[in-house]
Amino acid sequence: MCGAVRYRTEEEAPPCYACYCTDCQRRSGSSHALTMPLWRDKFTVEGKTVQGARTLASGVAATVHSCPVCLTEIYSHNEQLPDIVTLRAGTLDDARSLTPAAYMWIGSRQPWIELPEGARTYDTQPNDPVEWGDILEFRRRSV
């Protein structure tokens, strides 16, 4: 938010997903979080971040990176997916063109949230890494 930390990715228009889990609701103070997984080797950060730890719904420990000035959460990563960083897509300079490829944890969404007709939805999240890869187009993006 304040500009003390900047980042860039070499990927063009990677897919994102909307997460409605109660953790994302609490951490964002909103109805959901817009999340964009990126290849770690194509993501660079300018400026120092402060780090914190949290446990994901799956039980996996994650490291969260935030701006040390305004404390905006920027991205996270975990040992289960060492080649991936998970960007909070709302921190992009312009997130208006993003359309989620999928909607996760819709069983936890606020009752007034309506999802687009025909959207790819999950009551929780996929457990299959291949399905995650299909949603986020990792095979196409890794070429």
Q: What is the per-residue pLDDT for 142?
A: 57
Decide if 45 is inside a domain: yes
Q: Determine the structural domain holding residue 55 and report its residue range.
A: 14-142
Residue 140 pLDDT exceeds 60: no
Amino acid at 131: E
Mean pLDDT over all residues of the chain? Answer: 90
Give the pLDDT confidence of 69-79 residue by residue, as tens digits: 999 999 999 98
pLDDT-derived band at 59, boundaries 50, 70, 90 = confident
Residue 64 in any domain: the answer is yes
Inside any domain, residue 5: no
7 falls within a domain:
no
CA distances from 133 to 1, 33, 73, 95 (A): 30, 19, 24, 22
DSSP state of 8: E
Count of the separate structural domains present in the chain: 1
| Environment class of 67 (CB within 10 Å of its CB; exposed 0-12, middle 13-18, buried 19+) | buried
Distance CA 82, CA 84 (A): 6
The confidence score (pLDDT) of residue 143 equals 46
In a domain, 31, yes or no: yes
9 in a structural domain: no
- Distance CA(112)–CA(117), nearest Å, equals 15
* Percentage above 70 pLDDT, the chain: 95
Burial of 104 (0-12, 13-18, 19+ CB in 10 A): buried
**pTM score of the predicted model:** 0.86
Q: CATH number for the domain including 60?
A: 3.90.1590.10
pLDDT value at residue 132: 81
**Is 42 among the domain residues?**
yes
Say if 2 falls within a structural domain.
no
Residues 118-122, mean pLDDT to the nearest whole number: 95
